[in-house]
Amino acid sequence: MSATERDYGARLEPYRRELQVHCYRMLGSVHDAEDAVQETLTRAWRGLDRFEGRSSLRSWLYTIATNVCLRLTERRPARVLAMDYGPPTDPHVRLGTPVLESISVQPYPDAELGVEAGLAGPESRYEQREAVELAFIAALQQVPARQRAVLILRDVLGFTGAEVAEAMGTTPTSVYSLLQRAHARIDERLPERTQQATLRSLGDEGLREIVDRYVNAWTSNDVDALVELLTEDAAMAMPPTAAWYRGRDAVIEGLRTWPLNGERSWRLLPAWANGQPAVGAYRLEESGRFEFHHLMVITLCGRMIDELNAFHDRDPARFGLPLTA
């Protein structure tokens, strides 16, 4: 390996984290994003002799990563949240077998985000952290892949129209057209207020109070206390099953039927995912230990909980959580 190759290798590695977030936005999956970044860095390494410095190293890497993701989207189904997969479930019906293992949007650990608050630059439309919220990621997956890529490059990362056109192998006029169509699709799916705006309005103390109330209600099987925390139109999903409930009454009935029917004991530990508050839920098993069961990502509306997504079969260590509590 030449000194030049070693130098380029050292220069590529610092971009791994931000490229992974980019690929996650494109693909909705942590695991797919990791695969895409590995392929991106491999392609970049092999193409170092063709990189002539006509663009920045960062722009070149994003061009490779975007096109790797576009190829992946041609071979894999779009990722979805349960709410985008089918109608609400009757809370009296058993959850059934998982059907979303390979197509469910996955949560992303905050510790691996490496994104700052605010806009990436003057060309950006969305804040960096709001562009990883679950609602944003899920909405992106409903946008056609090329439109999605243009929107992320332009509105999230702040690339100029000319830079986006070069990355996509098209013209600025085409970029503008793709962007306009992407805006029309995503705007109708995004909530009126982002989680980042809500978190800022609550402050640390206000957020801690809500999470503490949720934890206390869950661990004491106090469903009535949870009623006071949920909005009237609250939703709850349990990927990888396709089951989800809409409306406070349905959510509460679903909780009474299984997790909070008094037959199980729970412990909850705080966590963060997708720039949102979350908790790791541990269920008491026959072994006598509280073992990790699911990661619950909490979406807020003011001081109320508007959505709960209980992600099962996830690696708790990624979220700073132990296997047992």
The DSSP-derived string for 250-302 is HHHHHHHHTTTSSS--EEEEEEEETTEEEEEEEEE-TTSSEEEEEEEEEEEET
Q: Which domains does the chain have, with CATH numbers?
A: 78-142+189-325 (3.10.450.50)
Measured CA to CA, the distance from residue 115 to residue 128 in angstroms comes to 6
Measured CA to CA, the distance from residue 75 to residue 71 in angstroms comes to 7
Low-confidence ranges of the chain (pLDDT < 70): 1-9, 52-54, 95-97, 100, 313
Q: What is the pLDDT of residue 8?
A: 65
Q: What is the pLDDT of residue 56?
A: 86
Q: What is the pLDDT of residue 52?
A: 63
- Proportion of the chain above pLDDT 70, given as a percent: 94
Q: What is the pLDDT of residue 96?
A: 64
